[in-house]
Amino acid sequence: MDSQYKIIHPVKYLQDHLAQEVRPDGRQFLSFRPISVNISSITHADSSSIFKIGGTTVVCGIKAELAEPKIESPECGYIIPNVELSPLCSPKFRPGPPSDQAQIISKTIENILRNSATVDLKDLCIHKGKIAWVLYCDLLCINYDGSVIDACIGALSAALSTLTLPETLYNEATGNTTVHSMKRIQFPIKTLPVSITFAIFDDQLLIADPTDEEESLCLGRLTIVMDEEKICCIHKPGGIPISHDLFLKSLMKSKHRAELVRRVIHTAISSAKQEESRQ
């Protein structure tokens, strides 16, 4: 009976729960879902990870290729994130070209990487104006239940943290590039950004880590990205404004959540390295 009521009156169903100061999944307003990280799950990628937030699951695979640097930045390589929201992850998505939502999320992640300075693109350059690495970061959502940007950033941060690239030398005299595929070098990252999303229902009600159902019924969303020291990015895609008090509350919760997420990622990386050393 409860499930039928939810289908017929989804807004009223959610409002009834929120009026009792509890969410449909039993969480408090500012409680988060559990997270988990799996490292190096894709063997044919240069680096990979699986990141889960509650029911939302994103797989990240990074593939490095050599290319000529862009004319406007000859001393830099570049990173190309691509988010795929397939029909397998949710019935709301259809087969075919990338949806508008997938393209928006891809662009958002690109902006987050740039604003957080996670990667110094100069570290990807092998020889100025001649040859550089391009990192193709494919982010596949295999289950969609809200906070997908958070899961994408978590998966990407974990994958970048374990990325190794083959030693590559450029001979300026001959113009030849030599790749030593058996000698791999750990790629340096500057920060470990963490994304935290909130849903806004009115100027008094803010909920953390919203599910897909909560996101579809809220009046606004707010995503805060933090590194170890500061706020890197604030993303608010329209909707109603957020009050000063709720914004301060979201900042406080974001700081604690970011610390937890980083601990989980570091623990997963340590476990993966220990497993690799035993093999």
pLDDT digits (tens, 9 = 90+) for 29-57: 899 999 999 998 788 899 999 999 999 99
**Strand ranges, E, within 22-130:** 35-39, 47-53, 56-67, 78-85, 125-127
Q: At what angle do helices 244-278 and 148-161 cross, to 10 degrees?
A: 40
pLDDT: which is higher, 175 or 60: 60
Q: What is the pLDDT at residue 7? A: 54
- Give the SS3 label for residue 137: strand
Global pTM reads 0.90
- 26: pLDDT strictly greater than 70: yes
123 phi, psi to nearest 5 deg: -70, -15
- 253: pLDDT strictly greater than 90: yes
Q: What digits encode the pLDDT tens for the residues 127-141?
A: 999 999 999 999 999
Residue 19: pLDDT band (50, 70, 90) is: low
Q: What is the dihedral of CA 248, 260, 90, 156, to 10 degrees?
A: 100
Q: What digits encode the pLDDT tens for the residues 157-187?
A: 999 999 999 999 988 888 888 888 889 999 9
Whose structure tokens read 């959610």?
14
